Amino acid sequence: MSTRRSPESLRSARWYGASDMRAFAHRQRTQQMGFRRDEFVGRPVIGILNTWSEMSPCHSHLRDRAEAVRRGVIRAGGFPVELPALSLGEVIVKPTTMLYRNMLAMEAEELIRQHPLDGVVLMGGCDKTTPGLVMGAISMGLPCIFLPAGPMLSGRWRGTTIGAGTHTRKYWDEYRAGRITDDDWLELEGISTRSTGTCNTMGTASTMTSIVETLGLCLPGATSIPAVDSSHAKMASAVGERIVDMVWEDLTPNRIVTEASVRNAVEVQAALGGSTNALIHLVAVAARAGVALPLDAFDEAARRTPVLANVFPAGTFLMEDVYFAGGLPALLSRIQDRLDLSCLTVTGRPIGESVGRAKVWDDEVIRPLDRPVTTVPAIAILRGNLCPDGAAMKPSAATPALLNHRGRALVFDSHAELSRRIDDPALDVDETTVLVLRGAGPVGAPGMPEWGALPIPKKLLDRGVRDMVRLSDARMSGTHYGTCVLHIAPESHVGGPLALVRTGDEIVLDVENRRLDMLVDDAELARRREAWTPPAPRYERGYTMLYQRHVSQADKGCDFDFLEAGAPTPEPEIF
């Protein structure tokens, strides 16, 4: 057991513990809020970073949950303070939450640094909030626990299970093809997201919270508890209790997020059939901890470990079913031979302990290794003359017949152009065409929006076509599906070869050999490069300009160059 720290050694003692005029003012001002001296002096001060807002539907219960955390902190002898942090409600935030992930990461880090905190609870879960909070907290380095918002309740419509995101896209295609009515569409709008909580499919939210739990930053089993379940509030109070002890034990994230725990998370991403977004976020999270994570690690893991979580979009169940089947520890128990079970978690114990206790209660939902959801890998990393630094796709969510495909490119230079032209009856396109979108990357869009599941042209939808090969430097929502090659790096805006493709070029996708190429010879490519001019910058001020100047490419995690691991930032002077 590690030695316990003394109250005098707490970080907050720098603010509250001295006898000078400044310390007087810090105590005076805290008492101004109605707290007695004894409630905070000499006690671990726990920041509750809360991404609650009324524009964040997946987090609307987090205001209440902060009360449960507070209860736990007080019970353990700490002093809880709630600090609002940037709320990134996926779907509602424009142009894309990804543009603001790094802003949240910066905010989280600086909120922790600027205040007299000893430990933090990170409350998030909707897509980018998870990596944003975790990246910032790792860089700051104080003891922290991530509290996942939990999935929304399962949806059903006319006897069919409805998953958030996945079915929106599915029914939109049906609606455009005239197979469901206006009234059906209206009804779906009202009933298909049943409660607060994050998307109940294996989208980015559930993938990222599962990954962060695997890294060791959540209480074991926390991520699959439904948002509105009474167990969720109980988990929140347990988080509050535990973080106080973590402060006394000085259990910091650099002891939890290590090369080995990152490798565990990569393996779990494969078993989840998780969102492609996780490739970007986990690379960025790992880098904050000083761990280099090459993209190929995801490909290798996906070849080794098949999809076991039978959850939309790769499977047929939802997160509530995963909860009843035993949650993430149960899934981890299925692949324990492939994990390093000695990795420490926020419990102060190795992850192997909770994995060893776990049981799978439903073999349909969490499949055994000898009966996976699919043997098609969850992730493939492609290379070729179109994507020298890599591109990602999700073979398990693609149409098998399209995994080896040769077709003619139809290129769109921007999302606006795509929207304008895609349903034009005169568009020269058939089901063998390869749809190409560029200008949609981290710098170009900017923020690399989830435009990667390019819409199928209406005239093809009418003929029953539901999937085509689609390429872009964009991302794709984790709840979506289709033969979509994403994250092409380098992106077109910075002069990646994607910038040189022309409508009519032959494109070859060969997933088995992990290749993506355009059949254009080097001399012709050199001529095209000669003629290429970089697009003019669109933003000359503000956060977006900062973003465009400093964001890294998809294979590097899209972090800002000045935030990657480096010499630690000094603690603020107190005077």
Rule CB under 5 A: is residue 96 a binding residue for Mg ion? no
Task: Verify cis geometry, omega within 30 degrees of 0, for the bond prior to 446.
Answer: yes
Helices (H), 473-555: 522-531, 542-550
196 forms part of the interface with Mg ion (CB under 5 A): no
Is the distance from CB of 102 to CB of 132 less than 8 angstroms?
A: yes
Among 96, 200, 477, 492, binds Mg ion (CB under 5 A): 477
Supply the minimum distance, in Å, between the C-beta of residue 149 and ligand FES.
8
Please say which residue, 203 or 390, places its beta carbon nearer to Mg ion.
203
Which of Mg ion, ligand FES, none lies near 477, with the C-beta cut-off 5 to 8 A by kind?
Mg ion
> Per CB under 6 A, which region of 195-203, 221-229, 330-338, 486-494 contacts ligand FES?
195-203
Token pair in block for residue 560: 């800002």
91 lies in the binding site for ligand FES (CB under 6 A): yes
CB contact at 8 A, 200 and 168: no
Q: Which residue of 130, 195, 198, 345 would you call a contact of ligand FES, by CB under 6 A?
A: 198
Binding piece for ligand FES, criterion CB under 6 A, among 197-205, 311-319, 383-391, 553-561: 197-205
CA-CA distances (angstroms) from residue 464 to 266, 546, 547? 36, 44, 41
Binds ligand FES by CB under 6 A, chosen from 85, 126, 262, 453: 126
Q: Tell me the C-alpha distance between 351 and 216, whole Å.
A: 7
The site partner of 345 among Mg ion, ligand FES, none (C-beta below 5 to 8 Å per kind) is none
Give the whole-angstrom CA distance, residue 409 versus residue 419: 17
Residues 6+ apart with CB under 8 A from 258: 289, 291, 343
Which run of H or E residues covers position 353?
A: helix 351-357
Q: Least CB distance from residue 314 to ligand FES, whole Å? A: 16
Give just the sign of the alpha carbon dihedral 357, 362, 365, 368: positive
Assess 517 for contact with Mg ion (CB under 5 A).
no
Question: What is the closest distance, in whole angstroms, from the C-beta atom of residue 269 to ligand FES in the complex?
Answer: 17
Exactly one of 205, 278, 454, 471 binds ligand FES (CB under 6 A); that residue is: 205
Number of residues that bind ligand FES (CB under 6 A): 10
Interacting positions 243-262 with ligand FES (CB under 6 A): none
Q: Which stretch binds ligand FES (CB under 6 A): 39-47, 63-71, 198-206, 403-411?
A: 198-206
Beta carbon of residue 165, minimum distance to ligand FES (angstroms, whole number): 6
Cβ neighbours of 11 (radius 10 Å): 18
Residues 6 or more apart from 264 whose CB is under 8 A from it? 214, 215, 339, 340, 343, 351
Is 203 a residue that touches Mg ion (CB under 5 A)?
yes
Q: Alpha-carbon torsion 154, 155, 160, 166, what sign? A: negative
What residues line the site for Mg ion (CB under 5 A)? 90, 127, 203-204, 477
The residue ranges that bind ligand FES (CB under 6 A) are 58, 90-91, 126-127, 164, 198-199, 203, 205
